[in-house]
Amino acid sequence: MAIIPINLKDGSLDQNAPELIIGIDLGTTNSLAAYMKDGAPVCVKGPDQKNTLVPSIVHFAPQGEIVVGDAARAKLVTDPANTIFSVKRLMGKSYRDVENIRGFFGYQIIDDDQDALVKVRVNDRFYTPVELSAMILRELKTRTERELGAPVSKAVITVPAYFNDNQRQATRDAGKLAGLDVLRIVNEPTAAALAYGLDKNESETIAVYDLGGGTFDISILQIQDGVFEVRSTNGDTFLGGDDFDHAIVDFWLEQLGVSREFLSEEKEFAQAIRLQAEAAKKALSSADVFENEIFDKKLRLTRSEFDDLIQALVQRTIDCCRRALSDAKLRPNQVDKIVMVGGSTRVPLVRSAVSAFFGQAVYDNLNPDEVVALGAAVQADVLAGNQKDLLLLDITPLSLGIETVGGLMDVIIPRNSKVPGKAGRQYTTSVDGQKNLKISVFQGERDLVEHNRKLGEFILKGIPPMPAGLPKIDIHFILNADGILTVRAKELRSGVEQQIDIRPTYGISEEEMGRMLLDSITNAQTDHALRGLLEARNEANNLLLSGDKFMRQNAAILSQEETNITNALLNELRRAAEGQDKDVIHRAIENLNAYTTPLAHRALDVSIREAMKGKKIAS
């Protein structure tokens, strides 16, 4: 079916308009969109026709209205529980990945003790980072349509170069949920290089140092005759300006004699001091001292104190730069330019540390907040067929492989391999007559799979019975231009074959995606509430079995009141699990966990004391 552009300003049809594909930088702190105008990329401006940045913040108003951007930012202090920020740090993550920083957020991150996509609780609803990111993307889509006067349905979205397969797929899912056909996922440093080198003809080796609000990347690229070849990449998806803010907050808390537990209880104060830390970070880029006051408490920070606080964090980025150069087989003095990307690169210590490592002044002629979105617009223009003389050769940041005997990681596609690409290896069986082979796919750099990220698994069935070692099983990895993986397995003697598109452990299934899209179109709240009911029931049933066993084994150490309350909470969860509302089940699980956790700690102490009776610890 043909797509005919419609001019939203006057309702006329524009059948001769070129295909419209926008570039989007979905950031931790701010997000923005860009498009090509008269052969050059430009960023979409807000209603004031000045500011291009949309704060990556979502606020849920009491009446059910969802607000994104500056209006949401204004609610960070007054309504922190219902105002979501830094959601990019949660993309593709489980609770176990983020539990150490949960106190940093004013909103509630749910601990379901499962290796599943982390959830955020807002009132009586539970949202995934994919859904929350989709709200930000939808705002960018709306803003772009308003400026261009035409509908937008296709986009290129950037991600940190060190995002793994889970996080890339989560970003693609968010785009789908926002009503966008995501044509390409592009690494942020690579996009920045496209914007930098658009009009350059000479051959250069550049380093793109990208330090944003929540992530850090360093990529080494060779630019020659319109070919942008990524030589290597390194980084940390949990290192950025937010961590600078954390360090300042911890410093002030120590000065004020305030505990971290106080922040968990007083959300308004927590958000107020976090925002002051962010303000101090920005002010100290040009001033020598920052002073302010919140809730009758004086805050003060000097430039030298700030430098001391973030020295170790900045050094982590330099260590990444050293590894990236090593992978590219280059020395620092062989890099022609260091392109600075991301708002956190405005910090003077960052700039001086990078300059000292590479032995030259950094290149900062580009707006660090906008350059990634501008590069995404260039890549969108390439996909639209308007840029014939540009070629992007990107790489995969992390190794991909399978689990072999003993829990070892056997790498099939090494890190820094070109994408798109494919590679394969031949395996065999380890047991006589083996008919099935489970293939578990992992991503990471450690030798043991337990230290790497599991992406998925499938079973190759129907292998003819043969002695161990006789079957020949070809396993091929096919990596597309977005860095998303397909795995194909074939037993060569019998021709038995199976192929699977790896759906990340922390992603969203196509069925769930369909329901979310339907919900976004029809605003059917009840459909959304039913999603995930079965998973919630399974979680509840497992907890009920554990709870009943705990009560039987520890009756002697519980008071009558504790026994009565625990039994009541178990019955509450039992009734919730029989119902049709997963949110009610999650609340019942939370209530039970909150009350029984201290009891479990006490039971463990008693067990340890009993086990140690009559025993002596050797000195």
Say if residues 432 and 467 touch (Cβ distance below 8 Å): yes
What is the pLDDT at residue 200?
67
Q: How many residues does the chain have?
A: 619
| Per-residue pLDDT at 12 exceeds 60 | no
Predicted TM-score (pTM) of this structure? 0.71
Q: Tell me how far apart the alpha carbons of residues 155 and 288 are, in angstroms, rounded to a whole number.
A: 42
- Cα–Cα distance for residue pair 296/534, rounded to 1 Å: 49
Please enumerate in sequence order all residues whose Cβ is within 8 A of that of 450, keeping only pairs 6 or more positions apart, or say none.
407
606 φ/ψ angles, rounded to the nearest 5 degrees: -65, -45
Residue 319 has pLDDT above 90, yes or no: yes
Spatial separation of the C-alpha atoms in residues 357 and 367, rounded to whole Å: 22
Lowest mean pLDDT among 96-100, 371-375, 479-483, 556-560: 96-100
235 or 391, greater pLDDT: 235
Q: How confident is the model at residue 390 (pLDDT cuts 50, 70, 90)?
A: confident
The neighbouring-strand residues paired with 453 are: 443
* Confidence (pLDDT) at 124: 81
* Residue scoring higher pLDDT (161 or 95): 161
Q: What is the mean pLDDT of residues 478-489?
A: 83
C-alpha to C-alpha distance for 478 and 422, rounded to whole angstroms: 4
pLDDT of residue 467: 84
Asked whether 190 and 236 are in contact (CB, 8 A), the reply is no
392 vs 144: CA distance, rounded Å:
26
Q: pLDDT for 400-449, tens place per residue?
A: 899 987 788 889 998 888 888 889 999 888 778 888 888 888 888 887 88
Structure tokens at 108: 């509630």
How many CB atoms are closer than 10 A to CB 261?
9
Instruction: Give the range among 10-24, 137-151, 230-244 with minimum mean pLDDT.
Output: 10-24
- The dihedral formed by the CA atoms of 416, 422, 428 and 430, expressed in degrees to the nearest 10: 40
> Per-residue confidence at 348, pLDDT binned at 50, 70, 90?
very high
Least confident of 176-185, 276-285, 488-497: 488-497
CB 139 within 8 A of CB 68: yes
pLDDT value at 475 more than 80: yes
Distance from chain centroid for Cα 143: 24
CA distance 35 to 378: 8
**Who wins on pLDDT, 616 or 109?**
109
**Catalytic site residue from 188, 242, 381, 539:** 188
Per-residue pLDDT reduced to its tens digit, 176-191: 999 999 999 999 999 9
CA distance 20 to 403: 43
* Residue 231: per-residue pLDDT: 92
Catalytic entry in 75, 79, 88, 369:
88
Percent of the chain with pLDDT over 90: 41
* Contact predicate 281/248, CB 8 Å: yes
Which of 444, 445, 437, 557 has its CA nearest to residue 491?
Answer: 437
**pLDDT confidence of residue 532:** 61
Tell me which DSSP letter residue 101 carries. Answer: G
Measure the CA–CA gap between 372 and 381, rounded to whole angstroms: 14
C-alpha span between 149 and 192 (Å, rounded): 27
Residue 490, strand partner residues:
474, 497
Q: What is the pLDDT of residues 518-563, one digit of tens each?
A: 454 454 344 344 446 766 777 788 788 788 888 888 888 888 998 9
Name, in order, each residue with C-beta under 8 angstroms of 485's C-beta and a sequence gap of 6 or more: 165, 400, 441, 455, 477, 478, 479, 501, 502
Whole-number Cα distances in Å, 227 to 204, 295, 352: 11, 55, 30
pLDDT (0 to 100) of residue 17: 54
The band of 513, judged by pLDDT with boundaries at 50, 70 and 90, is: very low
Give me the residues paired with residue 218 across strands: 209, 234
Q: Choose, from 210, 229, 278, 539, the residue flagged as catalytic.
A: 210
Strands (E) in 172-310, as ranges, are 181-187, 204-211, 216-224, 227-236, 289-294, 297-302
pLDDT band at 479 (very low <50, low <70, confident <90, very high): confident
Q: Are strands 485-491 and 473-479 parallel, antiparallel or unpaired?
A: antiparallel
Identify the structural domains of the chain with CATH numbers, from first to last: 22-240+311-393 (3.30.420.40), 400-501 (2.60.34.10), 532-608 (1.20.1270.10)
* Higher-scoring residue by pLDDT: 238, 273: 273
Higher pLDDT, 506 or 545: 545
pLDDT recorded at residue 3: 36
What pLDDT is attached to residue 614? 65
List, in sequence order, every residue forming a beta bridge with 110; answer none if it has no partner. 119
DSSP helix/strand/coil, 83: strand
543, 556 contact by CB (below 8 A): no
Main-chain dihedrals φ then ψ at residue 541, nearest 5 degrees: -65, -40
Which range is least confidently modeled, 94-98, 174-178, 268-272? 94-98
DSSP for residue 504: P
User: Given the structure tokens 């996509």, which residue do they identify?
Assistant: 117
pLDDT at 120 over 50: yes
Q: Which of 25, 173, 278, 381 is catalytic?
A: 25
Q: Which residues share a beta bridge with 298?
A: 293
Residue with tokens 């096919």: 478
25 is catalytic: yes
> Could you tell me if 175 and 131 are in contact, meaning their C-beta atoms sit under 8 angstroms apart?
no
* 435 catalytic residue (yes or no): no
Q: What is the mean pLDDT of residues 445-472?
A: 83
Give me Rg for the CA atoms of the chain.
26
pLDDT for 548 = 86
Q: What mean pLDDT value characterizes the chain?
A: 84
Contact by Cβ (8 Å): 569, 595:
yes
For 43-67, what is each residue's pLDDT tens digit? Answer: 999 888 889 999 999 999 888 889 9
**For residue 434, what pLDDT is reported?**
87
